[in-house]
Amino acid sequence: MTDRDRDGPEAGPKEWHSAKLDFSRDMSYADYLALDDILHAQHPLSPDRNEMLFIIQHQTSELWMKLMLHELNGAIESVRGDRLPPAFKMLARVSRIMEQLVKAWDVLATMTPPEYSAIRPWLGQSSGFQSYQYREIEFRLGNKNPAMLKPHEHNPERLAEVTAALYAPSLYDEAIELLARRGFAIAPEVLTRDRTQPTAYDASVEAAWAEVYRNAEEHWELYELAEELIDLEDAFRLWRFRHVTTVERVIGFKRGTGGTAGVAYLRKMLDVVLFPELWRVRTSM
Ligand code: HEM
Ligand SMILES: N[C@@H](CC(=O)c1ccccc1NC=O)C(=O)O
């Protein structure tokens, strides 16, 4: 037993006496994290106290999305460079972040319809539909749609970012390229497809994944990649589902501030399949 253990929780001030307390010349916690910037970035427009929840919920989601994109882009690079183990690490992190965002809906769901109605008029026509990080995540995962650039046309910097993601090969495109590099017969039109269009099902890709799953021992890295992708889409589906359910409980069937039908639009988004062959291949096992 050390002296520290013996002192117990009621030990005197000596436990923190050595702590650094003067930051007039050195970098502190708040300095390193730029806390003065992020903690002064909440600007409620309404007189309603619940607006703070609404703002922080979205700001924290955008911060997590920033990290998701960082990891997702790292994973795309790694798959392209045939470095699978680091890609697995990054993709696992992306999925855990998505799960974190799924859980975060519980906090927002404490907001009742009358509470939200007090804030909603102040939101104008702004909407999550205009989240450029979310759109980039969708594009990086292969759910491409050139029409989704439009809300960013007024801001050249954001437009450039989202446009780059629209034209770049998605994570799944890179996975399919990898299948081809590892000797699987992938239809040539899949490899030369228009990258600005959403991923579309292809039988040669399903056949390749079927072989991977049947001979997992032989194709262990591809097998692991497939399961990482399934994990990620699974988490993403849960996020979409919690979004539409939270929206329905808070605004019912009102139209969205972004101009869509609201719940009907979000329900339609539940039909999106990011990695179609990976889901279809399960039927044949
Ligand atoms: C009470 C809370 C919320 C309501 C009532 C709500 C409502 C809606 C509605 C109606 C749409 C459809 C677009 C429109 O016409 O406006 C939408 C889209 C969207 N919302 Fe929310 N939302 C809420 C919270 C959130 C949160 C916390 C996030 C997280 C960042 C979020 C992110 C998004 C995104 C990314 C879209 C676009 C989805 C797509 O295009 O597939 N929303 N939301
Ligand atoms: N589309 C929502 C508004 C909304 O949720 C929103 C507005 C501004 C900033 C973020 C938002 N969140 C997600 O769509 C609505 O129709 O009430």
- Per-residue pLDDT tens digits for 84-93: 999 999 999 9
pTM of the complete model = 0.95
Residues 100 and 242: beta-carbon distance below 8 Å: no
CB of 131 sitting under 6 A from ligand 1:
yes
pLDDT score at 48: 97
User: Does any domain span residue 260?
Assistant: no
Mean pLDDT of all residues in 228-253: 98
Closest residue by Cα to residue 168 from 77, 278, 275:
77
pLDDT score at 15: 83
- Count of domains in the chain? 1
User: Does any domain span residue 220?
Assistant: no
Mean pLDDT of all residues in 193-209: 98
Kindly report, residue by residue over 8-62, the tens digit of the pLDDT. Answer: 566 666 788 899 999 999 999 999 999 999 999 999 999 999 999 999 999 999 9
**Residue whose structure tokens are 């993709």:** 91
Q: DSSP readout, 116-163?
A: HHHHGGGGTT--GGG-HHHHHHHHHTT---GGGGGGGTT-HHHHHHHH
Residue of minimum CA distance from atom 3 in ligand 1: 247
Sequence-ordered alpha helix ranges (H) in 154-285: 156-167, 171-181, 188-191, 203-214, 220-251, 263-269, 276-280
Cα 34 to ligand 2 centre (Å):
27
User: Does any domain span residue 159?
Assistant: yes
Kindly report, residue by residue over 124-134, the tens digit of the pLDDT. Answer: 999 999 999 99
Which residue range forms the structural domain that includes residue 161? Answer: 130-170
pLDDT score at 94: 98
User: Does any domain span residue 247?
Assistant: no
How sure is the predictor about 242, in pLDDT bands with cuts at 50, 70 and 90? very high
User: Does any domain span residue 255?
Assistant: no
User: Does any domain span residue 165?
Assistant: yes
Which numbered ligand comes closest to the C-alpha of 244?
1
Where residue 49 falls (left for φ over 0; alpha for ψ -120 to 50; beta otherwise) is alpha
Cα 272 to ligand 1 centre (Å):
16
User: Does any domain span residue 147?
Assistant: yes
pLDDT score at 14: 75
Residue of minimum CA distance from atom 8 in ligand 2: 127
Cα 161 to ligand 2 centre (Å):
22
pLDDT score at 11: 60
